[in-house]
Structures are given as C-alpha cells and as structure tokens.
Structure 1
Amino acid sequence: MNRDEILKALAHPTRLDMLNWLKEPEKHFTQEHPFEMGVCASGFERNCGLSQSAVSAHLATLARAELVTSRRVGQWIFYKRNEETIAVFLKSLSDL
C-alpha cells in the first residue's frame, strides 16, 4: 500500500464519488452484467457526465492506488472496490 498514492487519488471529488458509488453499485448503476463482476467503465461515464477519456484517467488513478481492481471481460472492463487496501489504509491512518 502506497499511502501517498492513495491520498492523491482521494484528493479529487470525482474519484471519491466513484469509490462511494462502488460501495453500493446496485443503487447507482444499471447494467446487463451482474454486479459481482464489478461495474462497467461505461456506467461511470453516465454517472459522471465526463468523457470516456476523463473517466478512464480517474479509474486508472484509483487502480494505481490499488483502491479498485479491474477485470477485462471481452471488450468491457469492470471495476470493483479493493476493500482490503481500503481497510489497510484506514488502519494506517488510525496508527498516526
């Protein structure tokens, strides 16, 4: 876990929204695939109102910080929260 990378990722409100939406994806997204696979990147575009490239950049930042995991299925990429990294990060804050 890289705390600095995580803090940078969390510094943008859109990325915070993305993480919050992923906490309960069925409330924030509609998609044909089961949410157990994750949320398709296109779902974020609809929620954010941002371009595909901007959404991809935000998701890449979250992935670099290991706050989300990604999984490619055919032409789609699905994202899920990385609860393990989030828990370790939150614990590290309480240890300060």
Structure 2
Amino acid sequence: MLRTPVNEQRLGILEWLKDPVAHFPPQPHGDRAEDGVTADAVAAKLGVPRAVADTHLGLLAALGLVRTRRIRRRTYYRRDEMRIAEVARMFEKGW
C-alpha cells in the first residue's frame, strides 16, 4: 500500500515538509518553517494541478500527519512531528 505512486507522492510531501525552507520558494504570507506551505507550492513541486495537491494534503491532514493553519484566505500545511512519531511507533510494534 505504501509503495503505490500516489503514496510515494504523499511520502515525498512529508519529506519536503521536514525542511520547507530548503524545498519550497518564499511565500508572500506565512513563514515556511513556522506556518508551513500552501497547496499551490506543493502542486508546483509535484508538477500536478492544485486539486491533486489539495487531495494529498487533505488526506495527510485527516490522518493527522500534517497540521493546517489559515492565514488570510489560504491554508498552510506543516508536519505534525508528534503524530508522525506515534504512527512510526505503531509500525515498529507490528501494528
């Protein structure tokens, strides 16, 4: 399940969000490190339409792996390190 192309994209997003300053260009609003990045930035990095990035980010947010923050009219996404560590522990224990 984790090796499908779609999931590889989601894993890539999580990897990029570890260091958003290194992986995404500056944004007009919101600090990349503190607030996260927009779906537009993720879509540009993936080379897909924004709707596709919204779907990936929405799923990651629903799973609790990323947190959202509204600034003006945009949603910014960043990793939830505590939740990611919790999920990693579940996999290590044989879930």
TM category (shorter chain) comes to 0.7 to 0.9
Letter matched to residue 31 of structure 2: P
Query: Does the 8 A contact of 1:31 with 1:43 survive in 2?
Result: no
- Output the CA distance in 1 between the equivalents of 2:44 and 2:67: 20
What are the superposed Cα offsets for residues 17-75 of structure 1, whole Å, 9 maximum, x if unpaired? 10000011111101233121111221101101111111101111101111101111111
Q: Secondary structure at the match of 1:37?
A: coil
Q: CA deviation at 1:76?
A: 1.1
Could you tell me which of 11, 16, 32 is aligned with 1:16?
11
TM-score, normalization by structure 1: 0.83
- Output the CA distance in 2 between the equivalents of 1:92 and 1:44: 27
Higher relative contact order (CA 8 A, sep 6+): 1
In the other structure, the counterpart of 1:26 is 21
Unaligned ranges ≥5, structure 1: 1-6
- Output the CA distance in 1 between the equivalents of 2:79 and 2:9: 15
Structure with the higher helix share, 1 or 2: 1
Superposition misfits of 4+ residues, deviation over 6 angstroms: none
Correspondence list, 1:14-93, <5 A: 14-32=9-27, 33-35=30-32, 36-93=34-91
Q: Secondary structure at the match of 1:34?
A: coil
